[in-house]
Amino acid sequence: MTRAVTFAAAASTCWIAAALAYAGDAMVPPAQDYMLNCRGCHGADARGAPGHVPSLVGLDRFLATPQGRAYVVQVPGVAHVGISDARVAALLNWTLESFGNCRFEAYTEEEVAGLRRGPSVSDDSVAARLVRPVVANSSCSTAEAVGAPH
Ligand code: HEC
C-alpha cells in the first residue's frame, strides 16, 4: 500500500514537471526552466562534467561574434528544448547572469526565434568544427536531410 502511494506521488510529480516544461507560451521563472531542462547535464552550479559536458561559466566568450551568439542557441540542448522562444531567451539571459558573465548583450525572443529555425552557423564556426568530422565519417547520405553544414 505504502509502495503504491509512493509510486502515485512520484508519477504525479513527473506529470507536473512535464506539464511545466511544455506549457506553451506561459512564462515560468528561468531558474525553474534551468532546473527542469539544463541542470541534469550542466549541474546546479553550471560547471558541467569535465570531459563530458562543458561548463556554462564564462559563456560570454562566445557572445562577441554573431557566429558565437548563434552557436549558443543552436547547440542541441538549447535549440530543441521543449519551451517557447521567449522562455529560451529568458533562460539564456538568466544563465549568463547567474554564472559569471558580467558583460553581454541580452538575447531577445526574436533573435532566439530566428536562430532556432534559421540555417546553422557558418562553416568556420565552433559548431561546424564539431559536426564536420561526424558527417565526414558517416557512410549514409542523410547529412543534408538533418541540416548538417555542407
Ligand atoms: C542531455 C544533456 C544536456 C542537456 C539536457 C543540456 N545540455 Fe547543453 N550541452 C550538453 C553537451 C554534451 C554539450 C557539448 C556538446 C554539444 O555541443 O552538444 C553541451 C553544450 C552546451 C553549450 C555550448 C557550451 C560550449 O562551451 O561549447 C551550451 C551553451 C549549452 N549546452 C547550454 C545548455 C542549456 C541552456 C540547456 C538547457 C536548456 C542545456 N544545455 C541542456 C549536454 C546537455
Q: State pLDDT tens for residues 41-88.
A: 999 999 999 999 999 998 888 888 888 999 999 999 999 999 999 999
Q: How far apart are CA 60 and CA 148, in angstroms?
A: 25
Residue 112 in contact with ligand 1 by CB distance below 6 A? no
Q: What is the pLDDT of residue 131?
A: 46
CA angle 136, 70, 141 (to 5 degrees): 25
Assess whether pLDDT exceeds 90 at residue 23. Answer: no
Quick check: helix, strand or coil at residue 144? coil
Average pLDDT over residues 134-145: 41
Instruction: Classify residue 56 by its DSSP letter.
Output: -
How many whole angstroms from 14 Cα to the centroid of ligand 1? 22
Helix (H) or strand (E) holding 133: helix 126-137
Confidence of residue 126 (pLDDT cuts 50, 70, 90): low
pLDDT at 1: 46
Categorize the per-residue pLDDT at 99 as very low, low, confident or very high, splitting at 50, 70 and 90.
very high
- pTM of structure: 0.73
Q: Is the CB of 87 under 6 A from ligand 1?
A: no
Ligand 1 atom with the smallest distance to the CA of 88 is 38
Is the minimum distance from the CB of 50 to ligand 1 under 6 angstroms? no
Confidence band for 101, pLDDT divided at 50, 70 and 90 = confident
Could you report the per-residue pLDDT of 1-17, keeping only the tens digit for each? 445 544 444 444 444 44
If one counts every other C-beta atom within 10 angstroms of the C-beta of residue 58, the result is 12
Ligand 1 site, residue 95, Cβ cutoff 6 A: yes
Domains of the chain, CATH where assigned: 2-118 (1.10.760.10)
Determine if ligand 1 sits within 6 Å of the CB of residue 41: yes
CB distance 20 to ligand 1 below 6 Å: no
